[in-house]
Amino acid sequence: MSTGQESRVPGSPAQDGATFDALRTQLQEAATAFADGPDALEGILLGIVDDVDRAVREPLEVFPVCHHSPASAVAMARRLREKRPKVVYLELCEDMAPLLTELRNCRLPVAVQAFASEIDGFPAEWAPLSVVAPITEASAEYQAIAYALDTPGVELVLVDRSSDHVFQWQADDGAQPAGEPADPDAPPAEEEAALHGDAVGVEIGDLRPRFAELEEHLLHHGRVRHWSEWWHQYVELPLGDSDHDTYRQVMLLIGSLFRRLAPGDPARVRVDEDRERHMWTRMRQHLAASGTDPAECLYVCGAFHAASRVAEFGVHGADTFEISPPSASTWQYGLIPSSHAAIEAQFGLAAGSVSIAATQWAKNLKRTRIQPFRLAGQAGAKKAAKPRKAVAAAAAPDPASDPAADMLSGFLQRPPLLDRLDEAELLGWSVEIVRAARRSGYLASTADAIAVFETSILLAGMRDRAKPTPYDFQDAAITCIEKDSVPGRRDVRRLVEIMMGGDRIGQVGYDALPPLARDVHDRLAPIGLKLQQRGVQRALLDMASRPELEKCSDVLWMLRHLMPPGTARPIMGERRLGERPIQESWDLALGTHQRALIELGYEGVSIEQVLEQRLRRTAYGPQATTATVLQAVEDATLYLRSRRLADELGTRALEVLATERSVDGAPEVLRRVRRLLGHYRTSEPALPAWIESFVKTGYAHYCTLLPTAFTDEDATVRQVGAMLGFLFSMEGLALSLGCDRTQLELAFAQSHPQEPAKAALLWAAEVHLGRLSRTELRARCDALLGNPLVVPAYPRYLSGFLHALEPVPQLADFVVEAVSNAFARLPDPVLLPWLPTLITTLRSGGAESVPLLIREAGRIFPGRLAALDTWVPPWLEQPPAEALPAARGRAAALLTAHPATCDAVAALLGCDGAWSGPAPAPSGAALIARHPDAARALEALLAARQR
């Protein structure tokens, strides 16, 4: 903890002036009486007075403020009208100055944002960098900005560190950038509370105890729940209509107190002091360059920084601080919508406190009759009323006169003014909250309104205040109405916040939007909706009757790809390769997601440019895989219809495929290559060169990896099945392009899987290649079911057959047979645990094969339940004993009648021999005994011809 001894520097007010001598004497006597010794407490108390005296005597007037404080805003407006300064120095990032003129095109609250997606000099994980400074009408900063921009001859100079230095100084400390800490009493962030995203908030006028014990002490003895309520009760209300000198000295006192009682955090103290050195250095540089008299200037900063003790303080301070150059990062600037909830969430304020502050601002203006400053043409602002007869204002002080008299002593000794109870206002609140509660489903009545009225007065009396504050009223409403349940979507706390002013959400006007956002609004104009409006709007696009809407459809699909979910959501219609839209229906919420659209404008001047950049970034990124690059190719074709970009990204996919050594993305690669091939075959006269090379390279690549994948424990059955699907489905094209089928045969010769599922997958592939007959495959499955040691593993073989439907779909009937045999012959202890695995397998990896299985099962199984009792599966049917010789006889007669055909078939099947017997018979007759199924088929054919 620092003490006041540090501020006794040469030329300090303690030595040069006697304005606060009486106050110093009183504090010294109090320190001696109440402390163990005068040194520690006296040093703090006298140091605070020294800080106030030093700031008051500064030739360049220091105006301390608190962030979003109505009292500060009223005092600022009053002081500006009294003094009429020629230069206003404002604590705001100096690189944000060009944006301030655009505030007149917005509806407050909005936030000034600096954004950098391309960073240089900072850790890569920090990207993107974002700094925001929210501005509301009830803030001293806005009053200063409006005065400076709309008053001829007045210059506004931003003097705080740049956005780049915000992160430079954090990088020096090795800290991860983060926003302001949230108040533990605040509710979790909702949609409105997340309007600032993950941006770092600039501490404009930040004024809150950094010493946790001090804040806890103030809350406890002030009988309040959180800091926002303490500030409202003990600072806002007393200073709401105070004179300028009293306001200024009290704010300096509070800033010095919080500064001296702050914990010794070297990193944060260094950043605070560097900011102060930076601001005073910039002000002295401007004064020297412009030759302006410091007495005609006004320095607006947070009360914490106004009580600064750095050597650079003042117009005569030391010039020892060197400002480092900015980094090579590319910064872009814009205005984004803000809200009361977003400000509360980012700066650690209690929920509803900014709305209450806005209400208090309106009351202060009405009570003091001060005319605030508003930017000309400000969107959302009420029309200025006719100027009333102004209250007699104090004459502007003479710059050459002595500083203001000691106002602190009287303020600290004067008991708090008891504001009389405004029964009409409190009664109106009570009636309104009951009405809102009934609309939200509460069983509230007139008796509850009376209870809320009386309880508010009771709570205020228990907390030593004559007039209930909005926070007292909120507690009373929760106690009397909510009780123990919340029937609707909103609780009573939220209803009170809405009643007190609600969560006002700002909007950036069209003229203040970046070029990309304006272009989006222009291109979507034919839809005929108010896209700036918040909320969800339904858009119906009938391209058949209005062909110009097809361009709007293109924009909406790109926005859906680039923007957060919910910005543009298709209700009807989809976009596929090779298809043209006819009718579509969309839910649009561009106004709700205006911040995301504005930040999209930082990446380019059109959504096509941004989409192309993102696709390239995905394809050439360090984490790019073949599947992700193929997806980029598909997106380029689908959304941009760019053959040039698709060919470039397709060549990149070929490069990535050649370097991959795993089969993790094989299923996705297979799915996307099939889709792209189908598109190019139907829409192009010839296949692109890159996809022909991709098929050739993929065929050789997967042939090489196949033996390893069959034995690798990390390679799943689905991935191996996808590899086989690529090889079998692309084989014809690959062979026509010059590939050698020997590669595939060698790969299968080297494949020796041990896992049951992969073994079954290999058997199915061998059936497709002709290396294994169906009879042999059926015999292998029967042998597995007949072996008691293998029966528990049989479901794993079935899983392999299910995945085999991807590369070998013609085995669907055999898979139905195998599954049916499993249900018929597997014991329940084996079958029942396997059923969940079967369902999850079909759901996750076999969704495309399920229709094939169902269709095949419908062909095999009987269509009626009554026929099931007598039904015999076709694979179990056996011909009658007497039918086989007859069939053989008729088949032999047919073969004898056509010896040439018989010899050709026999030669094809490898049966050599001569005709023998008294009656010449073909050697192919031996086929009848070897292939009884063929004999029965011939018998059926002959019978049909005879009929």
pLDDT, mean over the chain: 80
- Report the range of poorest mean pLDDT among 85-99, 404-418, 646-660, 807-821: 404-418
Looking at residue 891, its pLDDT comes to 61
Looking at residue 34, its pLDDT comes to 45
Looking at residue 461, its pLDDT comes to 83
Q: What would the mean pLDDT of 130-134 be, rounded to a whole number?
A: 87
Reduced DSSP (H G I as helix, E B as strand, rest coil) percent helix, strand, coil of the chain, to 5: 55, 10, 35
3-class DSSP assignment, residue 328? coil
Q: Distances in Å between the alpha carbon of 769 and those of 648, 736, 781, 807? A: 36, 18, 19, 11
Q: What would the mean pLDDT of 220-230 be, rounded to a whole number?
A: 76
Using a CB cutoff of 8 Å and minimum separation of 24, what contacts does 769-774 make?
Answer: 769/744, 769/745, 774/814
Looking at residue 917, its pLDDT comes to 45
**Residues 602/115, Cβ–Cβ less than 8 Å:** yes
User: Which tens digits make up the pLDDT trace of 896-943?
Assistant: 777 777 777 777 666 666 554 444 444 455 666 666 667 666 666 655
Looking at residue 537, its pLDDT comes to 92
The Cα–Cα gap between 40 and 50 comes to 15
Looking at residue 6, its pLDDT comes to 38
pLDDT winner (highest mean) among 94-103, 118-127, 264-273, 466-475: 94-103
User: Which tens digits make up the pLDDT trace of 559-588?
Assistant: 999 998 889 999 998 888 888 888 999 999
- Report the range of poorest mean pLDDT among 236-245, 438-447, 598-607, 777-786: 236-245
Q: Distances in Å between the alpha carbon of 908 and those of 905, 911, 913? A: 5, 8, 13
Residue 127: pLDDT band (50, 70, 90) is confident
Q: What's the 3-state SS for 611-647?
A: HHHHHHHHHCCCCCCHHHHHHHHHHHHHHHCCHHHHH
Looking at residue 79, its pLDDT comes to 92
Strand partners, 531: none
Whether pTM > 0.85 for this model: the answer is: no
User: Residue 187: pLDDT above 70?
Assistant: no
Looking at residue 336, its pLDDT comes to 87
Residue 23: pLDDT band (50, 70, 90) is low
User: Which tens digits make up the pLDDT trace of 469-509?
Assistant: 888 888 888 888 887 777 777 888 888 877 876 677 888 88
What is the separation of C-alpha 770 from the centre of its chain, rounded to a whole number of angstroms?
53
Max Cα separation, the chain? 146
Contacts of 398 (CB under 8 A, 6+ apart): none
The Cα–Cα gap between 687 and 677 comes to 8
Spatial CA neighbour of 136 closest among 340, 324, 377:
340
**More confident of the two residues 872 and 277:** 277
Q: What would the mean pLDDT of 753-782 be, rounded to a whole number?
A: 89
The Cα–Cα gap between 345 and 343 comes to 5
User: Which tens digits make up the pLDDT trace of 349-362?
Assistant: 777 788 888 888 88
**Residues 38/31, Cβ–Cβ less than 8 Å:** yes
Looking at residue 392, its pLDDT comes to 41
Residue 202: pLDDT band (50, 70, 90) is low
User: Residue 152: pLDDT above 50?
Assistant: yes
Q: What would the mean pLDDT of 864-888 be, rounded to a whole number?
A: 66
Looking at residue 247, its pLDDT comes to 87
Contacts of 6 (CB under 8 A, 6+ apart): 47, 309
Looking at residue 198, its pLDDT comes to 61
Looking at residue 629, its pLDDT comes to 94
Residue 685: pLDDT band (50, 70, 90) is confident
The Cα–Cα gap between 275 and 278 comes to 5
Q: What would the mean pLDDT of 695-699 be, rounded to a whole number?
A: 92
User: Which tens digits make up the pLDDT trace of 163-178?
Assistant: 888 888 876 665 555 5
